[in-house]
Structures are given as structure tokens and as C-alpha cells.
Amino acid sequence: MNANIGTADRVIRLVLAAGLFSLFFILDGDQKWLGLIGLVPLATGLMRWCPLYSLFGIRTCSL
């Protein structure tokens, strides 16, 4: 797994993950589980690798 996520893309993913994950604590009932969607951008941002980017040949980081 080579890194394919650049710095700006990584920051955007981590901020988005924090926002989505906060829904887990804000929403009530069954809707609160939508906040767990934030784990996807969090994981890809921390690993600096996105499987969809690999599939489509996209690379936002420099070599």
C-alpha cells in the first residue's frame, strides 16, 4: 500500500471524520449510528491510502 493521499486531502478527510463522528454523540436513537460513517475518512486519512484512489489511479500526493 503506497500512500496516495496528499497533505491537503488528508487534512480535509480528518476534519470531515471529526464532524461525522461527532454525530454519534449529538444524535439520538438509531440515527446516532450514522456518525460511525466518520470512521471511513478517519482510517483513510490516518493510513494515507484510499482504496478508491488506487482503483481509479488517482494520486494527490507527490512522490
46-54 long-range Cβ contacts below 8 angstroms, 24+ apart: 46/14, 47/1, 48/3, 48/4, 48/5, 48/10, 49/1, 49/2, 49/3, 49/4, 49/5, 50/4, 50/5, 53/4, 53/5, 54/4
Give the model confidence (pLDDT) of 1-59 as tens digits: 899 999 999 999 999 999 999 999 999 999 999 999 999 999 999 999 999 999 999 99
- Residue 60's pLDDT band, with cuts at 50, 70 and 90, is very high
